[in-house]
Chain A
Amino acid sequence: MRDGLDHRQEINRMLKTIVRKELQENLYSYRFPLFAIICILLVPLGLYVNNLNYIKSVRDYNEQMRLADEAVASIQMQDVMAGKIAIKGFRPPALLSVFSQGFEGALPRFYEFTPDGYTPGESSSGEASILSVQGKIDFVFLIQMVLSLVGLLFASDVIAGEKESGTLRAMLSNSLPRDTILVGKITGGYLALWFPFIIAFLLGIVLLLVRAFPLFVGDTLARVLSVFLAASLFILIYFAIGSMISSSSSKTRTSLIVILLVWVSFQLVIPRVSDMAADVIYPIRTETQVSLEKSILAKSIDTETSRELGRRYVLIYGNEGSPGRGDKTTPEDVKWDAVKKEIESNARERKAQQVKQIDDAYGREKRIRQNIATNLSLFSPSAAFARLLADVCGTGEIARRKYGEAIKDHAQALDTALFSRAKRTIIALPGGKTSLSFSIQPIDVKALPKFTIAPTSLAEAFKEDWASLLSLAFWLIAPFAAAYVRFLRYDVR
């Protein structure tokens, strides 16, 4: 019992010695200050610049909302009927786009709602320079692209470097278990990466707080902590992958080549190939095709409705038609009103139902394709990380989906509250003539529905991104296990 305790203490002491040595060795190397400078410059700078952009977006959003409210307040029903009015629904900027841009720049800033449907406005990336096609530098980009590579490079010589320099033999000539060496080296090496990262992150947070970033409002702090933890974990994943490669190579050069190939695969190849593969596995229609389909359907129903109205009109009023309504409403007028109402209502319902069917079918197609692409991309820890963080920051897939749902709901609500109150009826008479009539019902502009997007809770983000979490967990455990197995059999000669 006593011996076992002493042995454990001895192992712990050796582990600490190796961790300390690893930290010291990294600290003395030329690469450490280089990395620290990159980290301390880029992370706070990225957060600061993105916060400036966010503040600007909020200012723009508030101004546009004010103008839109003014426009709504001065709505004239004849303008609505003439199709001159487009109600705009604006998407509020996501606060945590400061950390992860996600779809923030790509999604339309607003949608325009008209009696004929809705159309997207410009995206916020519309004003960006050509350089933005290479990807915006945000916190997630820095971690995903820069720190992952640095993590791999730092780990490239964890084992292979010690073997090459002969120090591994010197270490193993002592009463030192191999797993202690591996754990000590990975821990020390990771801490050497983690410390500059923490400093850079804290500096970035201080800069944000100076710019009045609402860190302590709502669940922002929890989200920022989640971002920090996920980023720390992500760096560890890449360090573990690098260690696995290092413990499978006898030379640092070989290890470096493999590391670069792995990095390119994870960062660039797998996410892009996943998208391409999804297109091949499950090709879907384009938005234009679907719009055209809906437009043809609408026209067809409108034409049918006009014809039916014409037929029924003739049946009620005869070929001569209505003499026109004076002060007195005739029984034919009452009958015609009821028939017209019924036909129009049926047509509207039919149109809505069939458009919904088309939308739902297209939505399903898109979802299946998206799921295939996403699931394939999860073979890359980088894709899993980017997806998770975008959702945690409210700029990811969930936010996009909720934006889409909000648009549909708002279109329906506006149709009921506004557009359906200004009706334009076209009657196609059997003789080939057409008759156009208008009807307007009063509206209460104050009661018009406001455009809102349902918020996403942090728990919802984690729940929906279980596959990303699973991928990250796999990439954390598997390389450690592989490095362990490889190193136990590692030829130290």
Chain B
Amino acid sequence: MAMLNMVLKADDLSKRYEDGVLALDHLNLGVRPGEVYCLLGANGAGKTTTINLFLNFIPPTTGTCYIKGIDVTKDPLEAKKYVSFVSENVMLYGNFTARQNLEFFAKLGGKTNLAKEQYYQVMRRVSLQEKAFEQRVKTYSKGMRQKLGISIAIIKDAPAILLDEPTSGLDPKAAEEFLEILTELKSEGKAILMSTHDIFRAKEIGDRVGIMKEGRLVMERTREDLQFEDLVKIYIDYMKSEPLTA
């Protein structure tokens, strides 16, 4: 696979925690502009560790993460200018309104002097109800929080987006709406790396799908490959197979 033009790139990335657990084992992957890469895997497979490494929340044991060619460990502040992050439970300031939350994170993302209307536009884009714009976030449902989370990612307008199980716990309609927004972002050229348990959504939105097991990327398929293969069966087969390590 050509690693050139990758916005997100993991190069021989490994992570062993202080307690000796090997969470990630020589991972190599890359996400191009306008591409959605879905990481599938059971709990503890290393999906969230991969995202944590890209965000420099933890240092790698070996290997390197690159965002737009910038080594995340060496220059984390510069690298993080080009990435947005949406977590499983979008955590926001409950006593702030949606607009206030958006404004705060937009400013941290380097977007200053935006007018109120510009924040409203972004919230409209993710189909957040108008009346909720100036409502305190603590009254929000999970779906609404996810929408606000993605609007924070949109307003930062970074070329890469990291999503950590963003559809987990969403009802089907909310999940569908969420994927529609991702499709739009993809069409705008964003490189999206999404960790998920949701095989169906991964097949639906992913340009490439990787399956992780015990910290290793054990399989990778393109959208084209999956037209002729049953992703569910592949996934279950891998999960049932013998452990990789003794």
Residues of A within 8 A of B (CB): 10, 13-14, 17-18, 21, 24-25, 28-29, 165-167, 169-177, 491-493
Contacts and interface: CB of A to CB of B under 8 A. Distances in A.
Interface residues of B, number: 31
B105 A174 contact: yes
A167 B81 CA distance: 18
A173 B83 contact: yes
A25 B87 CA distance: 22
B239 to A, nearest CB: 25
Q: Which 7 A-B pairs have the closest CB atoms?
A: A166-B91, A173-B85, A28-B95, A174-B108, A17-B107, A175-B80, A175-B81
Interface in B140-164: 152, 156, 162
B238 interface: no
Contacts of B89: 166
B69 interface: no
Nearest to A29: B95
Contacts of A170: 85, 87, 90-92, 105, 152
Contacts of A21: 93, 104
A374 B76 CA distance: 49
Contacts of B152: 170
A395 B140 CA distance: 56
Contacts of B162: 173
Contact of B93 (A10, A167, A173, A492): A167
Contacts of A172: 55, 57
Interface in B75-106: 77-78, 80-81, 83-85, 87, 89-96, 100, 104-105
B107 A13 contact: yes
Nearest to A17: B107
B28 interface: no
Contacts of A166: 87, 89, 91
B91 A173 contact: no
B52 interface: yes
B77 A176 contact: yes
A173 B95 contact: no
A493 B58 contact: yes
B34 interface: no
Given A165-B91, A167-B91, A169-B57, A176 B96 contact: no
A174 B91 contact: no
B109 interface: yes
Contacts of A167: 91-93
A10 B108 CA distance: 10
Contacts of A491: 58
A193 B94 CA distance: 21
Contacts of B109: 174-175
Contact of B57 (A14, A24, A492): A492
Given A165-B91, A167-B91, 5 more contacts: A21-B104, A25-B95, A29-B95, A169-B87, A170-B105
Q: Which of A13, A167, A170, A173 has the most CB of B within 10 A?
A: A173
A18 B55 CA distance: 20
Contact of B107 (A14, A165, A173): A14
Contacts of B44: none
A243 B118 CA distance: 36
B112 interface: yes
A169 B245 CA distance: 32
Contacts of A28: 95-96
A129 B104 CA distance: 53
Contacts of B107: 13-14, 17
Contact of A175 (B87, B104, B110): B110
Contacts of B85: 169-170, 173
Contacts of A492: 57
Given A24-B96, A25-B95, A25-B96, A173 B55 contact: yes
Contacts of B94: 165
Contact of A177 (B77, B91, B96, B100): B77
A21 B96 CA distance: 9
Contacts of A176: 77, 80, 108
Nearest to B76: A175
Nearest to A167: B91
B91 A169 contact: yes
B47 to A, nearest CB: 13
Contacts of B90: 170
10 contacts: A14-B108, A17-B107, A24-B96, A170-B85, A170-B87, A172-B55, A173-B162, A175-B77, A175-B80, A175-B109
Contacts of B96: 24-25, 28
A238 B112 CA distance: 34
B17 to A, nearest CB: 10
A421 to B, nearest CB: 79
Contacts of A24: 96, 100
A17 B108 contact: yes
B112 A13 contact: yes
Contacts of B105: 170-171, 174
A484 to B, nearest CB: 17
Nearest to B112: A13
A174 B110 CA distance: 9
A176 B85 CA distance: 14
A166 B55 CA distance: 14
A323 B129 CA distance: 123
